[in-house]
């Protein structure tokens, strides 16, 4: 089996490469997704059994100033992948985000709920979802949230760095969501992709996020406690920490459809955090 992955060094792509020897991961050098046709050529030449898109423009604030690049990488390129995969008769698993919602309310968002992205990043990711669904092939869009790992830049690594420098920190407490390890996401999308390839599971949009839901401040406290760092976390509101791009306050995701269709339950992010901290300690 050949699994073609778009993205090579990002958090999820790195975990996919760790898990399967049959993963062929393409970075910019192998497939520059800013170039129209690059994704289609890569799929045609690789003739894979499964395509996973783990590539994206994920710099939420920078996307506000570079909407064309965000739209190309997050919207147009996934559509090209989906059409090429459909033409080749192979399934595509596309990773998306909670930012397609406006973050209102407190109820966990269901896959079929109305979308309403607050900024360029969310709108570009929604465009990608729509293009994937419209291509006509077998597909799964897997929306996730608050990704962390031992790779690249993420909240866990930022908190560890700051926690070694400071004894007190202000962290946003009114944004609520499910931290999700890149390793858990990799496991989930591989399982979904395998099921789609084998004719099991329905095409559609699914949610996958770690449990239990928490705030960024709660996440930070858990990071510091498990890392043995004595840092006082002071809760602040989103309004007290302005950023170029608006963040959704409610990022809770209802993951029931994924559990019913593929038997994949929400992972405990605290256990995954412990594993990530062990990995970071090993490489320190």
The pair of three-digit structure tokens given for residue 58, joined into one six-digit string:
């994920």
Q: Exactly one of 99, 121, 206, 241 is catalytic; which is it?
A: 121
Q: How many residues does the chain have?
A: 284
The Cα 75–Cα 90 span in angstroms is: 20
SS3 at position 235? strand
User: Which residues are paired to 215 by β-bridges?
Assistant: 176
Alpha carbon 154 to its chain centroid, in Å, reads: 12
Instruction: State which H helix or E strand residue 233 sits in.
Output: strand 232-236
Confirm if 199 and 89 have CB atoms less than 8 A apart. Answer: no
The Cα 88–Cα 51 span in angstroms is: 11
Is 99 an active-site residue? no
Q: Report the catalytic residues.
A: 121
């Amino acid at each position: 089996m050949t699994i073609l992955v778009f993205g090579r060094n990002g958090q999820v792509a790195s975990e996919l490469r760790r898990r399967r020897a049959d993963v062929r991961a393409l970075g910019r050098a192998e497939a520059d997704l800013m170039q129209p046709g690059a994704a289609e050529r890569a799929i045609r030449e690789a003739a894979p059994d499964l395509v996973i898109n783990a590539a994206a423009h994920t710099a939420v604030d920078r996307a506000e100033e570079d909407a064309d690049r965000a739209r190309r990488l997050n919207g147009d390129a996934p559509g090209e992948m989906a059409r090429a995969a459909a033409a080749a008769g192979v399934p595509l698993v596309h990773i998306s985000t909670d930012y397609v919602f406006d973050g209102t309310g407190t109820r966990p968002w269901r896959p079929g709920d109305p979308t309403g992205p607050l900024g360029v990043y969310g709108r570009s990711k929604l465009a990608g979802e729509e293009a994937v669904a419209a291509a006509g092939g077998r597909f799964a869009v897997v929306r996730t949230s608050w990704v962390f790992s031992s790779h690249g830049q993420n909240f866990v690594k930022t908190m560890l760095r700051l926690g070694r420098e400071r004894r007190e920190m202000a962290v946003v407490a009114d944004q609520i969501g499910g931290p999700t390890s890149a390793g858990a996401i990799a496991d989930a999308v591989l399982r979904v992709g395998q099921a789609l390839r084998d004719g099991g599971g329905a095409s559609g949009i699914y949610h996958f996020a770690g449990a239990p839901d928490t705030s960024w401040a709660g996440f930070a406290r858990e990071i510091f406690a498990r890392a043995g760092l004595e840092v006082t976390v002071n809760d602040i509101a989103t309004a007290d920490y302005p950023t170029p791009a608006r963040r959704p306050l409610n990022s809770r995701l209802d993951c029931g459809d994924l559990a019913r269709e593929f038997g994949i339950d929400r992972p405990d992010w605290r256990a995954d955090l412990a594993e990530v901290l062990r990995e970071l300690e090993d490489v320190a």
